[in-house]
A and B are shown apart, each in its own frame.
Chain A
């Protein structure tokens, strides 16, 4: 007991916040003044902005900004409702039509938050007991969508079609052992066009071959490749020259090349219509603010009227890549 008292007397608590030197980086912020566009002014110095996904530079485009401001004057800021309860505006329907036309699919559906697009699309189709083959380097939004779907996830090595084929073959032997279970199991492959985590492009032609060989459906996430790959920016299907009907669902973010907020999914009407009631991020979130929808429509107009910007973008990318390789 005596020793315990002594120990308690001796004990000196450590400070909650230890003393830090004055030049600790957390205490000296770098201050950005002005909008982040092609260049960003940090601490008064003008720097080239490499830290944004504004690939086509449409974020500070005057036409896009004026379209957004006109929409702001007409509609105000928010829609004050989900799509099913007085939150559907004509700009939403127009944007959906324009996106479906641009991507040459039957229908498109708009989400008001890019992350929620693929995270709501996957659990709308894949449920408990279904099987999803995902690339290891799938982005966080896909991971959350898979977690919400409660399906069995099978990861294959990044861009390794041999590994994916091995997994598909294993699944095929399992299916042959239990055909009745196989008949009620849905199988999906989820891949990204341009991976956010590694910057690689997925080998889509081989995936299509595997899709028809093993009867799996493909969900393609084109957030980074929309407006980047392809002759006219239609994404990785145009890049590889693949018929858009071979992909069951294309999901993309409008927050990168399209310089707006939100996301869209496009595909056959039969598939997209299902998300109007089952897409949790669509039914239970307020719809996209009309000024952002108008901005996206204007950005689409620019993309359609100037198809040479994609060539410029690719040329610049290759030049920087070569220069950085030294």
Chain B
């Protein structure tokens, strides 16, 4: 759905990532984050890239895989109350274009970060663990899975 459009969508969270301008805004947001980090004189270019990668993945984890339910009341009696935003996307249909976009974008960021940090070992470790925290929850096998009961209710 787009802004200001009347809709009969039961859970707008499922369609928000397909809205007009969402992907562009997201990419520009990541770019803005990176520019802000680059402007801080204390950070060298590799540090800025690793920080961009880590902060982006942290934000993505929190908003897509940690926070559950919806910030608004849905008319389906709380079907998505225990689901994260990623699990709600497109009503649980896997491999839609939004899901593919949000899986590929941290990978692209990872490649860029690895290149600009010149494959330094510490940076590599940080970037790879950060990428894994954001890639593993996106696997279809982990749909609805809560490891060790964390975040179940």
Contacts and interface: CB of A to CB of B under 8 A. Distances in A.
A128 B77 contact: yes
Interface in A115-150: 123, 127-129, 148-150
B73 interface: yes
A177 B85 CA distance: 28
Interface in A263-287: 277-278, 280
A319 interface: no
A123 B153 contact: no
B8 to A, nearest CB: 12
Contacts of B149: 180
Contacts of A178: 153
Interface string B134-153: 00000000000000010011
Contacts of B75: 280
A123 B152 contact: no
A150 B153 contact: no
A129 B73 contact: no
Contacts of B59: none
Contact of B153 (A128, A184, A277, A278): A184
B20 interface: no
A77 to B, nearest CB: 30
Contacts of B79: 128
Interface residues of A, number: 15
A183 interface: yes
B153 A183 contact: yes
Contact of B73 (A128, A148, A183, A277): A277
B153 A127 contact: no
Contacts of B152: 180-181
A326 B82 CA distance: 59
Contacts of A181: 152-153
Nearest to A127: B78
A95 B149 CA distance: 50
A295 B104 CA distance: 65
Chain A CB within 10 Å — which of B81, B152, B153 has the most? B153
Interface in A162-210: 178, 180-181, 183-184
Contacts of A183: 153
A184 B79 CA distance: 14
Nearest to A284: B75
Contacts of A123: 77
B81 A278 contact: no
Nearest to A274: B73
Interface string B60-81: 0000000000000101011101
Nearest to A128: B78
B57 to A, nearest CB: 26
A184 B152 CA distance: 11
Given A127-B81, A149-B77, 6 more contacts: A127-B78, A128-B77, A150-B77, A178-B153, A180-B153, A183-B153
7 closest cross-chain pairs (CB), A and B: A127-B78, A181-B153, A150-B77, A128-B78, A127-B77, A180-B153, A184-B153
27 contacts: A123-B77, A127-B77, A127-B78, A127-B81, A128-B77, A128-B78, A128-B79, A128-B81, A129-B78, A129-B81, A129-B82, A148-B77, A149-B77, A150-B77, A150-B78, A178-B153, A180-B149, A180-B152, A180-B153, A181-B152, A181-B153, A183-B153, A184-B81, A184-B153, A277-B73, A278-B73, A280-B75
